[in-house]
Amino acid sequence: MYDLIIIGGGPAGLTAAIYASRAGLKTLILEKRVPGGKLSEIPHLENFPGLLEPINGMELAMKMYQQATKFGTEIKYPEAVVDLELDGLIKKVRTRKGEYRALAVIIATGLEKKKALVPGEAELLGKGVSYCAVCDGPLYRGRQVAVLGNNDKAVEEAIFLSNLAEKVYLITDGLDIEAPKALIKKMEGAGKIEVVKAKLIKIVGEKQVEKVVVEKEGSEVEIPISAIFIAKGDEPKTEIFKKSGLRISEAGFITVNEAQETNIKGVYAAGDCTGRGMQVVVAAGDGAVAALSATRYIRAIKAKMSKVKHEQGLFYIEIEHGKRAYHRFEVKGDTMKMMSTYTPPEYRGLGLASRIVDEVIMHAKKLGIRNLIVECSYVKHWIEKNPDKVSNFQVKYDIKA
């Protein structure tokens, strides 16, 4: 049981974790790959505030990671989320490894790489098919490689690879290049990059990429390569969140307000998955705002839940309408019978039962109770952990519940 679960460990998720953990929240990040997200794929970051010199994206990501863990964030990776239950006070997040629960959730999943959707792509993934030139490019030093895409990201990756590979083919999928003129001029000056205005038909290889087949001017042409880096852009993958009841825009982004709140209370979203900015600094800012909003929400929930009320023979916390955590007791003379403790299953792990039993013991002291008859196994466990709080009583165990 956590105060806050953050889904995604990129700059938005890591920044949210830094703020939340520093505020004292028990925080968990679930990241399906490795911490850093797309930030770790940036070879040189020059426009992040406070940096006088360019920094490698992976280096900045590791600094964020270390800062989050320094404040107490728990980070689990690789661990992909497969299902969520976001209605109700307790949010449930399921992965293939188990179920995690929290009072609030921040979604910071960023964007997913667009696939080429051609034969051989899935079969040769990790065997020469890659979506990250910075990550995998050094593996193909001195060899012929290709980049698929016509945007500025594709041009940047081609330039980066030209410093490693013998030759780089920039396959545009039959489209014109759409990138700033300065970037195109830099590519042309690299000397090792050949632009191929053709459509990718398939990727070929037995155990490793050996070549690609493209369609150019009505004919199929084979290009021998050792790897192809797919850079067709990014898209949101938010189907799982839509299924969980979150409002998703027509473009597939999670809808939030200025406080990063979604349409479900206690659920927030930050970074590229909301469709705003698409910059590291914007994602970090969104993560900070989401964490501040979640912190206020969680503190309000805890304050409400910590108020222990009393009526005849019962101490309880009204968690939400129709749901209580409680302890039943009975007083006869100088003896209190502690009968049963109950917390609804979905709210266990929040310390509610402990606070209630503590109130019952203080009430017993005010009444001048000398003897405690404990019929509840939870109370027995509580007394074993807090012997000093019952040192004035004669305790007898008669466990029935």
**Residues labelled catalytic:** 132, 135-136
Rounded to an integer, what distance in angstroms lies between the CA atom of residue 138 and that of residue 128? 12
Distances (CA, A) of 232 to 2, 159, 338: 38, 16, 66
Rounded to an integer, what distance in angstroms lies between the CA atom of residue 247 and that of residue 70? 34
Nearest in space to 165 (alpha carbons), one of 191, 190, 192: 192
Nearest in space to 240 (alpha carbons), one of 51, 107, 56, 101: 107
Burial 190-217 (b: 16+ CB within 10 A, else e): eebbebbbbbbbebbbeeebbbbbbeee
Element (H, E) at 98: strand 98-107
Cβ(9)–Cβ(29) below 8 Å? yes
Tokens coding 85:
């239950």
Rounded to an integer, what distance in angstroms lies between the CA atom of residue 401 and that of residue 373? 13
